[in-house]
């Protein structure tokens, strides 16, 4: 065998192995990069005509408040709850909690059970080229205590029979602007002249 050719072939083989390993490492390193993350804020607002209450909406909801007042005739709008979670791009959220002020009187001893979820959160450009957030789907549900009957015992105490009924909202696909509180749905409750408003904000997180 010609020794120079053997050396050349061996060197070429080693170079090819090195290039293949470098390309494979670069691809692996690219795949290992973390997806961008987002802070998801769900704010539950109640609208009513109760004179004892005063509106307590934060300043960041000023645009939403103006929209509500233009479309609804309630005298008061109050922030009932705020839920915050963090998710990566294409991620999902599944949240369950208990609430004592969701469509109930303040002296109620029976809580409501709330749950909300969203799936496949994605950042993508809209028709104008601006980044938007798309969810597929978004769900909000509540199991609320409903008094179905009542009776008095021998001591005159009223005993109520309570059943839990479900209400909720499902959006199979919804888009909203980045970092802008957006009204995405409304729900009625057992309280007369009250509506629940769901406001969602998705905020990019700087790592």
| Secondary element (H or E) of residue 173 | none
Average pLDDT over residues 22-35: 57
Q: How do residues 147-181 score in pLDDT, each as one tens digit?
A: 788 787 777 777 778 888 899 999 999 999 999 99
- Is the pLDDT confidence value at 33 over 50? yes
Average pLDDT over residues 124-136: 88
CB 133 within 8 A of CB 202: yes
pLDDT above 70: percentage of residues in the chain: 78
Helices (H), the chain: 3-31, 62-71
Q: CA-CA distance, 116 to 141, in Å (whole number)?
A: 6
Q: How do residues 36-72 score in pLDDT, each as one tens digit?
A: 899 999 999 999 887 766 677 888 899 999 999 999 9
Q: How many helices (H) does the chain have, and how many strands (E)?
A: 2, 11
Q: What are phi and psi of 104, to 5 degrees?
A: -125, 160
The reported pLDDT for the residue numbered 9 is 52
pTM for the model: 0.77
Q: Which of 162, 158, 127, 128 is nearest to 144 (CA)?
A: 162
Q: CA-CA distance, 67 to 20, in Å (whole number)?
A: 59
Query: Measured between alpha carbons, how far apart are the two ends of the chain, in Å?
Result: 59
Across the beta sheet with 76-88, the strand order is: 76-88, 37-48, 194-205, 182-188
Average pLDDT over residues 83-91: 94
Q: What are phi and psi of 15, to 5 degrees?
A: -65, -45
Q: What are phi and psi of 21, to 5 degrees?
A: -65, -40
- Is the pLDDT confidence value at 183 over 80? yes
Quote the DSSP letter at residue 111.
Answer: -
């Amino acid at each position: 065998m010609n020794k120079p050719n053997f050396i050349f072939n061996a060197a070429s083989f080693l170079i090819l192995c090195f290039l293949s390993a470098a390309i494979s490492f670069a691809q692996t390193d690219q795949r290992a990069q973390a997806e961008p993350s987002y802070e998801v804020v769900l704010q539950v607002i109640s609208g009513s005509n109760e004179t004892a209450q005063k509106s307590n909406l934060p300043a960041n909801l000023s645009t939403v408040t103006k929209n509500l007042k233009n479309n609804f005739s309630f005298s008061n709008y109050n922030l009932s709850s705020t839920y915050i979670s963090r998710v990566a791009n294409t991620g999902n959220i599944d949240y369950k909690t208990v609430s004592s002020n969701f469509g109930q009187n303040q002296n109620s001893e029976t809580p409501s059970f709330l749950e909300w979820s969203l799936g496949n959160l994605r950042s993508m450009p809209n028709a104008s080229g601006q980044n938007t957030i798309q969810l597929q789907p978004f769900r909000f549900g509540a199991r609320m205590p409903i008094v179905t009957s009542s009776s008095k015992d021998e001591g005159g105490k009223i005993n109520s029979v309570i059943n839990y009924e479900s209400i909720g909202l499902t959006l199979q696909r919804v888009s909203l602007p980045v970092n802008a509180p957006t009204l995405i749905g409304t729900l009625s409750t057992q309280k007369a002249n009250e509506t629940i408003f769901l406001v969602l904000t998705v905020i990019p997180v700087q790592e």
